[in-house]
A and B are shown apart, each in its own frame.
Chain A
Amino acid sequence: MSALTAIFMRDLRLAVRVGGGAGIGVLFFLIVVVLAPFAIGPDLALLARIGPAILWLGALLASLLTLDRLIAADAEDGSLDLILTGRTPLELAVAAKALAHWLTTGLPLAIATPLFGLLMNLDMQASFAVALTLLAGTPALTFLGLLGAALAVTLRRGGLLLTVLILPLTVPVLIFGVAASNAAVTGSVPFAMPFTILCALTLASLVIGTFAAAASLRHGME
Protein backbone atom coordinates (compact mmCIF):
# COMPACT_ATOMS: atom_id res chain seq x y z
CA MET A 1 0.00 0.00 0.00
CA SER A 2 2.82 2.38 0.84
CA ALA A 3 4.45 1.70 -2.53
CA LEU A 4 1.21 2.68 -4.22
CA THR A 5 0.95 5.84 -2.16
CA ALA A 6 4.53 6.64 -3.09
CA ILE A 7 3.81 6.26 -6.81
CA PHE A 8 0.66 8.33 -6.45
CA MET A 9 2.34 11.15 -4.50
CA ARG A 10 5.36 11.15 -6.83
CA ASP A 11 3.15 11.54 -9.90
CA LEU A 12 1.17 14.32 -8.23
CA ARG A 13 4.37 16.19 -7.35
CA LEU A 14 5.85 15.67 -10.82
CA ALA A 15 2.68 17.01 -12.41
CA VAL A 16 2.48 20.24 -10.46
CA ARG A 17 6.15 21.24 -10.38
CA VAL A 18 7.97 23.07 -13.17
CA GLY A 19 8.04 20.92 -16.29
CA GLY A 20 4.94 18.98 -15.28
CA GLY A 21 1.88 19.11 -17.50
CA ALA A 22 -0.84 20.17 -15.03
CA GLY A 23 -2.55 23.34 -16.15
CA ILE A 24 -1.70 23.02 -19.81
CA GLY A 25 -4.76 20.81 -20.29
CA VAL A 26 -7.05 23.50 -18.93
CA LEU A 27 -5.34 26.08 -21.12
CA PHE A 28 -5.87 23.87 -24.18
CA PHE A 29 -9.51 23.41 -23.15
CA LEU A 30 -9.96 27.19 -22.86
CA ILE A 31 -8.44 27.76 -26.30
CA VAL A 32 -10.74 25.17 -27.94
CA VAL A 33 -13.76 26.84 -26.30
CA VAL A 34 -12.58 30.27 -27.46
CA LEU A 35 -11.97 29.05 -31.01
CA ALA A 36 -15.46 27.56 -31.37
CA PRO A 37 -17.34 30.89 -31.73
CA PHE A 38 -14.86 31.99 -34.40
CA ALA A 39 -15.73 28.90 -36.40
CA ILE A 40 -19.47 29.01 -35.73
CA GLY A 41 -20.20 32.69 -35.35
CA PRO A 42 -21.15 34.69 -32.25
CA ASP A 43 -24.83 33.66 -32.33
CA LEU A 44 -25.60 33.37 -28.62
CA ALA A 45 -28.67 31.18 -29.04
CA LEU A 46 -26.80 28.75 -31.24
CA LEU A 47 -23.82 28.72 -28.88
CA ALA A 48 -26.06 27.92 -25.95
CA ARG A 49 -27.56 25.04 -27.87
CA ILE A 50 -24.26 23.45 -28.89
CA GLY A 51 -22.32 24.64 -25.82
CA PRO A 52 -22.38 21.32 -23.98
CA ALA A 53 -21.11 19.55 -27.11
CA ILE A 54 -18.24 22.03 -27.57
CA LEU A 55 -17.28 21.77 -23.90
CA TRP A 56 -17.29 17.97 -24.10
CA LEU A 57 -15.23 17.88 -27.29
CA GLY A 58 -12.70 20.28 -25.79
CA ALA A 59 -12.42 18.27 -22.59
CA LEU A 60 -12.14 15.01 -24.57
CA LEU A 61 -9.22 16.30 -26.64
CA ALA A 62 -7.59 18.01 -23.67
CA SER A 63 -7.61 14.89 -21.52
CA LEU A 64 -6.35 12.60 -24.30
CA LEU A 65 -3.65 14.86 -25.68
CA THR A 66 -2.02 15.34 -22.27
CA LEU A 67 -1.64 11.60 -21.73
CA ASP A 68 1.02 10.39 -24.11
CA ARG A 69 3.94 11.14 -21.79
CA LEU A 70 2.34 9.54 -18.73
CA ILE A 71 4.26 6.25 -18.90
CA ALA A 72 6.83 7.06 -21.58
CA ALA A 73 8.59 9.43 -19.17
CA ASP A 74 8.86 6.61 -16.63
CA ALA A 75 10.25 4.28 -19.27
CA GLU A 76 12.97 6.82 -20.08
CA ASP A 77 14.17 7.47 -16.54
CA GLY A 78 14.05 3.80 -15.57
CA SER A 79 11.36 3.98 -12.92
CA LEU A 80 9.07 1.84 -15.09
CA ASP A 81 11.52 -1.06 -14.72
CA LEU A 82 11.30 -0.69 -10.95
CA ILE A 83 7.50 -0.69 -11.09
CA LEU A 84 7.54 -3.75 -13.35
CA THR A 85 9.92 -5.74 -11.13
CA GLY A 86 8.42 -4.52 -7.85
CA ARG A 87 6.01 -6.52 -5.75
CA THR A 88 3.14 -4.08 -6.21
CA PRO A 89 0.71 -5.48 -8.79
CA LEU A 90 1.28 -3.67 -12.07
CA GLU A 91 -2.47 -3.10 -12.50
CA LEU A 92 -2.65 -1.15 -9.24
CA ALA A 93 0.51 0.79 -10.02
CA VAL A 94 -0.76 2.03 -13.39
CA ALA A 95 -4.16 2.75 -11.83
CA ALA A 96 -2.44 4.93 -9.20
CA LYS A 97 -0.60 6.77 -11.95
CA ALA A 98 -3.83 7.30 -13.91
CA LEU A 99 -5.61 8.54 -10.79
CA ALA A 100 -2.86 11.05 -10.11
CA HIS A 101 -3.06 12.18 -13.72
CA TRP A 102 -6.81 12.56 -13.54
CA LEU A 103 -6.53 14.65 -10.37
CA THR A 104 -4.09 17.02 -12.04
CA THR A 105 -5.68 17.27 -15.50
CA GLY A 106 -9.20 15.76 -15.60
CA LEU A 107 -10.51 17.30 -12.40
CA PRO A 108 -9.36 20.85 -13.27
CA LEU A 109 -11.26 20.54 -16.56
CA ALA A 110 -14.48 19.78 -14.69
CA ILE A 111 -13.82 22.58 -12.20
CA ALA A 112 -13.14 25.13 -14.95
CA THR A 113 -16.26 24.17 -16.90
CA PRO A 114 -18.81 26.43 -15.09
CA LEU A 115 -16.54 29.39 -15.87
CA PHE A 116 -16.04 28.42 -19.53
CA GLY A 117 -19.76 27.78 -19.80
CA LEU A 118 -20.26 31.55 -19.52
CA LEU A 119 -18.37 31.97 -22.79
CA MET A 120 -20.83 29.54 -24.40
CA ASN A 121 -23.83 31.49 -23.06
CA LEU A 122 -24.87 28.57 -20.85
CA ASP A 123 -26.91 29.43 -17.78
CA MET A 124 -25.75 28.37 -14.31
CA GLN A 125 -27.77 25.19 -14.18
CA ALA A 126 -26.58 23.98 -17.59
CA SER A 127 -22.97 24.82 -16.78
CA PHE A 128 -23.06 22.83 -13.59
CA ALA A 129 -24.75 19.94 -15.38
CA VAL A 130 -21.92 19.86 -17.92
CA ALA A 131 -19.37 20.09 -15.10
CA LEU A 132 -21.07 17.20 -13.31
CA THR A 133 -21.05 15.01 -16.43
CA LEU A 134 -17.39 15.88 -17.01
CA LEU A 135 -16.63 14.99 -13.41
CA ALA A 136 -18.22 11.60 -13.98
CA GLY A 137 -16.95 11.11 -17.52
CA THR A 138 -13.35 12.33 -17.60
CA PRO A 139 -12.08 9.35 -15.52
CA ALA A 140 -13.29 7.12 -18.35
CA LEU A 141 -11.28 9.20 -20.82
CA THR A 142 -8.19 9.11 -18.61
CA PHE A 143 -8.33 5.34 -18.18
CA LEU A 144 -8.95 4.71 -21.88
CA GLY A 145 -6.04 7.06 -22.54
CA LEU A 146 -3.99 5.06 -20.04
CA LEU A 147 -4.08 2.21 -22.55
CA GLY A 148 -2.80 4.64 -25.16
CA ALA A 149 -0.02 5.75 -22.82
CA ALA A 150 1.00 2.13 -22.25
CA LEU A 151 0.93 1.39 -25.98
CA ALA A 152 3.13 4.45 -26.52
CA VAL A 153 5.80 2.72 -24.46
CA THR A 154 5.37 -0.60 -26.25
CA LEU A 155 5.48 0.99 -29.68
CA ARG A 156 7.98 3.76 -28.88
CA ARG A 157 5.63 6.11 -30.68
CA GLY A 158 3.44 8.88 -29.37
CA GLY A 159 1.26 11.72 -30.43
CA LEU A 160 -1.19 11.40 -33.25
CA LEU A 161 -1.04 7.60 -33.66
CA LEU A 162 -2.29 7.03 -30.11
CA THR A 163 -5.00 9.62 -30.43
CA VAL A 164 -6.17 7.91 -33.61
CA LEU A 165 -6.19 4.54 -31.86
CA ILE A 166 -8.01 5.67 -28.72
CA LEU A 167 -10.54 8.21 -30.03
CA PRO A 168 -12.95 5.65 -31.59
CA LEU A 169 -13.16 3.95 -28.19
CA THR A 170 -14.36 7.18 -26.58
CA VAL A 171 -17.50 7.42 -28.73
CA PRO A 172 -19.83 5.95 -26.05
CA VAL A 173 -18.49 8.31 -23.37
CA LEU A 174 -19.00 11.29 -25.66
CA ILE A 175 -22.53 10.20 -26.60
CA PHE A 176 -23.73 9.74 -23.04
CA GLY A 177 -21.79 12.70 -21.65
CA VAL A 178 -23.32 15.14 -24.12
CA ALA A 179 -26.73 13.46 -23.86
CA ALA A 180 -26.75 13.83 -20.07
CA SER A 181 -25.70 17.49 -20.37
CA ASN A 182 -28.42 18.19 -22.91
CA ALA A 183 -30.96 16.33 -20.82
CA ALA A 184 -30.19 18.70 -17.95
CA VAL A 185 -30.63 21.72 -20.24
CA THR A 186 -33.70 20.74 -22.25
CA GLY A 187 -35.27 18.12 -20.03
CA SER A 188 -36.36 16.01 -23.01
CA VAL A 189 -34.95 12.86 -21.41
CA PRO A 190 -34.64 12.30 -17.65
CA PHE A 191 -31.13 13.32 -16.60
CA ALA A 192 -30.54 10.20 -14.53
CA MET A 193 -30.83 7.78 -17.46
CA PRO A 194 -27.88 8.85 -19.62
CA PHE A 195 -25.97 9.93 -16.52
CA THR A 196 -26.08 6.51 -14.87
CA ILE A 197 -24.98 4.89 -18.14
CA LEU A 198 -22.11 7.41 -18.25
CA CYS A 199 -21.10 6.35 -14.74
CA ALA A 200 -21.31 2.70 -15.79
CA LEU A 201 -19.04 3.45 -18.76
CA THR A 202 -16.56 5.10 -16.42
CA LEU A 203 -16.53 2.07 -14.13
CA ALA A 204 -16.08 -0.28 -17.09
CA SER A 205 -13.22 1.88 -18.42
CA LEU A 206 -11.50 1.76 -15.02
CA VAL A 207 -11.31 -2.02 -15.34
CA ILE A 208 -10.65 -2.32 -19.08
CA GLY A 209 -8.10 0.49 -19.23
CA THR A 210 -6.16 -0.68 -16.20
CA PHE A 211 -5.91 -4.32 -17.22
CA ALA A 212 -5.22 -3.58 -20.88
CA ALA A 213 -2.51 -1.06 -19.99
CA ALA A 214 -0.85 -3.48 -17.58
CA ALA A 215 -1.03 -6.30 -20.13
CA SER A 216 0.44 -4.05 -22.78
CA LEU A 217 3.35 -3.08 -20.53
CA ARG A 218 4.00 -6.70 -19.53
CA HIS A 219 4.00 -7.96 -23.08
CA GLY A 220 5.82 -4.97 -24.42
CA MET A 221 8.77 -4.93 -22.04
CA GLU A 222 9.84 -8.53 -22.63
Chain B
Amino acid sequence: MASLGPHATFIVAAYGAAVVILAALIAWIVLDHRAQQRALGELEKRGVTRRSGRPA
Protein backbone atom coordinates (compact mmCIF):
# COMPACT_ATOMS: atom_id res chain seq x y z
CA MET B 1 0.00 0.00 0.00
CA ALA B 2 1.19 3.47 -0.82
CA SER B 3 2.04 5.79 2.05
CA LEU B 4 -0.96 7.73 3.23
CA GLY B 5 0.85 10.87 4.20
CA PRO B 6 0.46 12.87 7.41
CA HIS B 7 -3.29 12.33 7.66
CA ALA B 8 -3.27 8.52 7.54
CA THR B 9 -5.37 8.24 10.71
CA PHE B 10 -8.24 10.13 9.16
CA ILE B 11 -8.16 8.13 5.94
CA VAL B 12 -8.09 4.84 7.82
CA ALA B 13 -10.85 6.05 10.14
CA ALA B 14 -13.02 7.05 7.19
CA TYR B 15 -12.62 3.65 5.53
CA GLY B 16 -13.12 1.98 8.89
CA ALA B 17 -16.33 3.87 9.53
CA ALA B 18 -17.68 2.85 6.12
CA VAL B 19 -16.77 -0.78 6.78
CA VAL B 20 -18.38 -0.76 10.23
CA ILE B 21 -21.63 0.78 8.95
CA LEU B 22 -21.86 -1.58 5.99
CA ALA B 23 -21.04 -4.58 8.20
CA ALA B 24 -23.76 -3.56 10.65
CA LEU B 25 -26.22 -3.25 7.78
CA ILE B 26 -25.32 -6.68 6.41
CA ALA B 27 -25.45 -8.27 9.86
CA TRP B 28 -28.87 -6.76 10.48
CA ILE B 29 -30.21 -8.07 7.16
CA VAL B 30 -28.80 -11.57 7.71
CA LEU B 31 -30.04 -11.82 11.31
CA ASP B 32 -33.43 -10.43 10.31
CA HIS B 33 -33.67 -13.06 7.55
CA ARG B 34 -32.92 -15.85 10.03
CA ALA B 35 -35.45 -14.52 12.53
CA GLN B 36 -38.22 -14.31 9.94
CA GLN B 37 -37.43 -17.80 8.57
CA ARG B 38 -37.52 -19.20 12.09
CA ALA B 39 -40.85 -17.54 12.87
CA LEU B 40 -42.28 -18.78 9.59
CA GLY B 41 -41.03 -22.31 10.28
CA GLU B 42 -42.56 -22.35 13.75
CA LEU B 43 -45.90 -21.14 12.47
CA GLU B 44 -45.92 -23.78 9.75
CA LYS B 45 -45.04 -26.46 12.29
CA ARG B 46 -48.08 -25.42 14.28
CA GLY B 47 -50.15 -25.92 11.15
CA VAL B 48 -51.00 -22.30 10.40
CA THR B 49 -51.34 -21.69 6.66
CA ARG B 50 -52.48 -18.86 4.49
CA ARG B 51 -55.87 -18.97 2.84
CA SER B 52 -54.25 -18.66 -0.54
CA GLY B 53 -52.74 -22.10 0.00
CA ARG B 54 -49.26 -23.42 0.50
CA PRO B 55 -46.35 -21.85 -1.34
CA ALA B 56 -45.66 -23.43 -4.71
Answer whether A and B touch in the complex at a CB cut-off of 8 Å: no
Where the two chains meet, the residues of A that have a C-beta atom closer than 8 Å to any C-beta of B are none
Where the two chains meet, the residues of B that have a C-beta atom closer than 8 Å to any C-beta of A are none
